């Protein structure tokens, strides 16, 4: 019971909360006692997550009970600023826990990758985390509150992966961003950490060819890809 109460006073903002790791994180945070602001580009998916948490999830940001859903494109500055304003208006405080899970893939070999596919992945996966981290930290510093920021990177950002130049670059950038943010925000009582999942059973890997998944699975000691709940020790 004690472990379920350790986040009872926390407000957690989770981006990419409409599915996959983001939804699993939201469920676990709620189980630990946190109020969850679930955000996704797909507002309906965010509302479904809130419904799973035991909240109404019927309309964006309202009614503001234990949990609430929000829709935002994290790659747009104004959208992220508006998101933080909505969350604070809804819960009367800034989020003390921020988990940036929003991410996309646009896979192609480097020789054939379009500039648009490069730009979009960098915009969501890297710029989006920059914008969310900046806005959340500014809100925490202004209120004098400590906090914890967790950015979801990927093992691909460390070792690379064929056909994922844009994704690998974006996730490597998240690692560097998080390390620097930790140095800058530490004096304000804000912790910053990055998690580097491997292949996880989410909608994102449904586009991966089976032969590639078979090869990857063969290199994993447990003989299977991970599940979204597997990393919730964080």
Catalytic center residues? 167
Give the span between the Cα atoms of 19 and 16, in whole angstroms. 7
Q: Where are the alpha helices (DSSP H) in 14-146?
A: 20-31, 43-53, 77-91, 115-122, 128-143
Residue with tokens 């490069």: 118
Structure tokens at 183: 């140095």
Helix (H) or strand (E) segment spanning residue 216:
helix 210-218
Beta bridge partners of 100: 15, 151
DSSP string, 151-213: EE--THHHH--TTBHHHHHHHHHHHHHHHHHHHHHGGGTEEEEEE---SBSSGGGGGS-HHHH
Give the span between the Cα atoms of 89 and 130, in whole angstroms. 22
> CB under 8 Å to 180, separation ≥6 — which residues?
none
């Amino acid at each position: 019971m004690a472990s379920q109460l350790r986040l009872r006073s926390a407000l957690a903002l989770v981006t990419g909360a409409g599915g996959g790791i983001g939804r699993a994180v939201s469920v676990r945070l709620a189980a630990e006692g946190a109020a969850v602001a679930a955000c996704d580009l797909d507002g309906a998916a965010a509302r479904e997550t809130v419904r799973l948490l035991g909240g109404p999830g019927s309309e964006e940001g309202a009614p503001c009970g234990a949990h609430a859903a929000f829709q935002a494109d994290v790659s747009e500055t104004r959208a992220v600023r508006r998101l933080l304003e909505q969350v604070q208006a809804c819960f009367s405080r800034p989020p003390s826990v921020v988990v940036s899970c929003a991410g996309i893939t646009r896979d192609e070999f480097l020789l054939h990758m379009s500039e648009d596919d490069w730009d979009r992945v960098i915009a969501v996966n890297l710029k989006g985390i920059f914008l969310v981290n900046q806005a959340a930290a500014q809100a925490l510093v202004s209120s004098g509150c400590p906090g914890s920021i967790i950015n979801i990177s990927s093992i691909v950002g460390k070792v690379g992966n064929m056909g994922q130049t844009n994704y690998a670059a974006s996730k490597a950038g998240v690692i560097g961003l998080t390390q620097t943010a930790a140095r800058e925000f530490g004096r304000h009582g804000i912790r910053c950490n990055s998690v580097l999942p491997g292949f996880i059973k989410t909608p994102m890997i449904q586009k991966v060819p089976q032969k590639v998944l078979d090869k990857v699975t063969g290199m994993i000691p447990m003989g299977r890809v991970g599940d979204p709940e597997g990393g919730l020790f964080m």
